[in-house]
Each structure stands twice: as structure tokens, then as C-alpha cells.
Amino acid sequence: MNPRLGCGAAIFDGRNQLLLVCRRRPPEADCWGLPGGKVDWLEGTEDAVRREVLEELDVQIRLTGLICVSELLDAEGSLHWIAPVYGAEISSGEPRLMEPQALSAFDWFSLDSLPEPLTIATRQMLKTIHRPTPSISD
């Protein structure tokens, strides 16, 4: 058993709304989460997240920075995923569902009105962006 490597994109629009997808398949089936997926062999995580978002939603994204590294640890389910989560903006295209076998829906959500349940990676990303920035004296 080895950890798996994934990636995710926290895509925000100009109104600070977050684009989420609803997963059909395990892990975390029927949860709302960040678009993204598996990193292929010898593929960089930034390239992987751009590819995954294009495959899932038919949009090109511009990455704005690394937000956090998410971990899904589930010994009972034999799951161990590590996934960098990048901030992103859509640079071209309009989102549309490209993988209906994997995703049941997508939508934009205000951060104060998010759907439930959320994936672990999404919850970890939200904790990171809501964490106060420490001062130099801390």
C-alpha cells in the first residue's frame, strides 16, 4: 500500500464564489468538492490540475498559488491520498460537465452558502483560507 497523489483547484470568480463539483464515485461519492484528480506518472502537479480541470469542466485555468496540501487518511477504506490544492481563476471557457460518469453536477457557491457534504480536501482548503495570517512577531 502506497499513498496516492492527487491535485485540486479552488477556482474563484470575480465575486469570490467558489466552483465546486459533485462527485459520483468513491472516494467521497455524493460530496461536493474541488475539481481535480489523479496526477499521472512524471506529470507535475500544476500541469495535472490544469489537465484535470480541462477534462472535467472544459475550461482553461490560471493558477494563482498553492493554498494547502490536503491529506485523506482512511485506514478502514484503505485510502491514503495527498493532494496539493491550488488557487485558480478561469482564463478561458465556460464550465460545462464533461465527465457525467464521474460528476453529477457543478455550480458556483458563495463561501457563506456552501453545499453539504463537502469533501475533506475542500474542508481543509477552507480552513486554510480562513486561518488568520500570523504576524512577524508571532
Average pLDDT across each block of 10 residues of the chain; the chain has 138 residues. List them in order. Answer: 94 96 94 98 98 98 97 83 97 98 98 96 95 54
Select from 63, 109, 114 the least CA-distant residue to 85.
Answer: 63
Domains and their CATH numbers in the chain: 4-130 (3.90.79.10)
Global pTM reads 0.91
* pLDDT at residue number 133: 55
